[in-house]
C-alpha cells in the first residue's frame, strides 16, 4: 500500500510539478480574497472612508512611519547577518543596508520576492565580487531569519491570545494553543539541532553552513524586532475602539502577512487586506480600511518609490564612472609614448 502511494505521489509530482501546484494555490487564494473583499466592501460609504482618512491624526501617522522606518532598518541586518554567515566579512554594512532596503522594498511591491528581491541583491553584490551562488545563499539565510522570527511571534502570540488565531482559522481555542505549542516545540528542536554541532545543508557549491545555536537566537531576535515594528505600525493605524490589545492585532497582522506572502500577489494585495478585514470584524469598516490604506502608503508605496530613486541614482553614478574609465583608457591608448631607459608608460600614469 505504501509503495503504491509513494509511486502515485512521484508520478503526480513528475506530471504536475510543485511549481504548478503552487501557482494554482496562489490563484485560488487570490480569487477567494477578491470575492471576500467584494462582499465586505460593496457597502462601503466612500464619503465616510474619506472622512476616516482625513480624521487620522498626523502624530499617529508620524509614529506609524517611525515604526515602519525601524522595521526597514531591521531588514538591513537580515543581509548583514547573512553576509557574515556565508563568510563575506569584507562587505561593509552600508552595502548590506542598500541591498537589504532596496531588495525588500522592491520585492514587497513587485511580488515573487525571492526572484525580484534576489535580482536587486545580485545587481548590488556582484559589484563586490559575489557570485550568483553566494547571493542565493544570502537570500536563503535572510529568508531563514524571516521564518524563524515569524514562527516565534506566531507561537508566543497564539499561546497568549488564541482568540486572535481563531478569528482567521475558526478553530477552538484549545486547538490553537496546541498549534502554538507545536510551533514552539519545532522551533526549540531546531535551535537544539544547530546548537549541538555545525550543520551543513545542500551539496557541492550550494552548501550552506547553518548559523549555530547562539547565532540562531540572534536571528530570531532580529526577526522579532522586524515583525514587532511592523505590527506596531499597523496597531497605530487601526481604530482605537474597540481596544483589542497589541498582541491580538500583532498575531492577526503576522498571519495575514504570511497569507499575502504565500499568495505571491504584489504586496499581498487583496489577500492581506481580506484577512485583516475578516479577522478584525469588530472595527468599523471604513475606519479599518482607512488604516489599511495608510499602512500600504507607509510600508509599501513610499519605500518602493525611495528604493527606485536610490537604485536609479546608483545606476547613473555607475554609468558615469564607467564612461570616465572608458574615456581614460581611450586617452591612454592614443597618447604618444616616449622611449625611456625603463619601462614604457603613458605620461598620465601616476606610478
| pLDDT at residue 296, rounded to an integer | 93
Q: Could you tell me the three cell numbers for 66?
A: 517611525
Nearest C-alpha neighbor of 275 from the set 165, 150, 115, 179: 165
Domain ranges of the chain: 62-318
Residue 112's pLDDT is what? 67
pLDDT tens figures, 273-313:
889 998 998 888 999 999 999 999 999 999 999 999 999 99
Give the residue ranges of the chain where pLDDT is below 50: 1-3, 5-13, 15-18, 339-351
Ordered DSSP codes for 149-213: HHHHHHHHHHHH-HHHHHHHH---HHHHHHHHHHHHHHHHHHHHHHHHS--EES-GGG-EEPP-H
pLDDT per position as a tens digit, 173-187: 999 999 999 999 999
Start-end of H helices in the chain: 2-15, 18-41, 46-55, 58-85, 93-110, 113-125, 132-160, 162-169, 173-196, 213-237, 246-263, 271-279, 285-296, 302-334
In the prediction, which pLDDT does 58 show? Answer: 92
Torsions phi, psi for 265 (to 5 deg): -70, 145
Distances (CA, A) of 81 to 16, 94, 144, 237, 351: 37, 13, 11, 31, 39
Which pLDDT score is estimated for 344?
40
- For residue 204, the model assigns a pLDDT of 76
Amino acid at each position: 500500500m505504501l509503495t503504491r502511494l509513494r509511486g502515485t505521489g512521484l508520478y503526480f509530482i513528475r506530471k504536475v510539478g510543485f511549481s504548478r501546484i503552487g501557482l494554482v494555490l496562489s490563484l485560488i487564494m487570490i480569487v477567494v480574497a477578491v470575492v471576500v473583499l467584494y462582499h465586505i466592501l460593496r457597502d462601503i460609504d466612500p464619503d465616510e472612508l474619506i472622512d476616516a482618512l482625513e480624521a487620522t491624526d498626523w502624530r499617529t501617522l508620524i509614529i506609524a512611519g517611525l515604526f515602519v522606518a525601524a522595521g526597514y532598518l531591521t531588514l538591513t541586518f537580515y543581509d548583514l547577518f547573512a553576509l557574515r554567515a556565508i563568510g563575506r566579512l569584507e562587505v561593509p554594512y552600508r552595502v548590506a543596508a542598500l541591498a537589504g532596503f532596496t531588495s525588500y522594498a522592491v520585492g514587497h511591491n513587485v511580488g515573487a520576492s525571492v526572484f525580484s528581491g534576489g535580482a536587486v541583491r545580485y545587481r548590488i553584490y556582484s559589484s563586490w565580487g559575489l557570485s550568483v551562488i553566494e547571493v542565493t545563499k544570502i537570500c536563503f539565510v535572510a529568508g531563514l531569519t524571516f521564518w524563524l522570527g515569524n514562527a516565534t511571534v506566531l507561537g508566543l502570540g497564539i499561546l497568549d491570545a488564541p482568540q486572535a488565531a481563531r478569528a482567521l482559522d475558526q478553530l477552538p481555542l484549545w486547538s490553537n494553543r496546541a498549534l502554538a505549542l507545536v510551533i514552539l516545540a519545532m522551533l526549540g528542536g531546531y535551535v537544539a539541532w544547530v546548537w549541538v554541532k555545525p550543520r551543513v545543508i545542500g551539496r557541492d557549491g550550494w552548501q550552506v553552513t547553518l548559523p549555530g545555536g547562539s547565532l540562531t537566537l540572534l536571528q530570531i531576535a532580529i526577526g522579532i524586532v522586524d515583525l514587532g515594528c511592523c505590527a506596531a505600525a499597523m496597531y497605530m493605524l487601526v481604530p482605537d475602539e474597540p481596544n483589542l490589545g497589541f498582541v491580538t492585532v500583532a498575531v492577526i497582522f503576522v498571519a495575514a502577512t504570511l497569507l499575502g506572502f504565500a499568495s505571491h500577489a504584489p504586496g499581498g494585495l487583496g489577500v492581506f487586506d481580506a484577512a485583516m478585514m475578516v479577522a478584525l470584524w469588530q472595527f468599523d469598516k471604513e475606519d479599518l480600511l482607512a488604516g489599511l490604506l495608510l499602512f500600504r502608503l507607509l510600508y509599501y508605496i513610499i519605500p518602493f518609490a525611495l528604493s527606485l530613486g536610490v537604485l536609479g541614482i546608483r545606476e547613473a553614478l555607475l554609468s558615469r564612472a564607467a564612461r570616465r574609465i572608458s574615456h581614460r583608457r581611450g586617452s591612454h591608448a592614443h597618447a604618444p609614448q616616449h622611449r625611456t631607459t625603463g619601462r614604457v608608460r603613458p605620461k598620465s600614469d601616476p606610478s
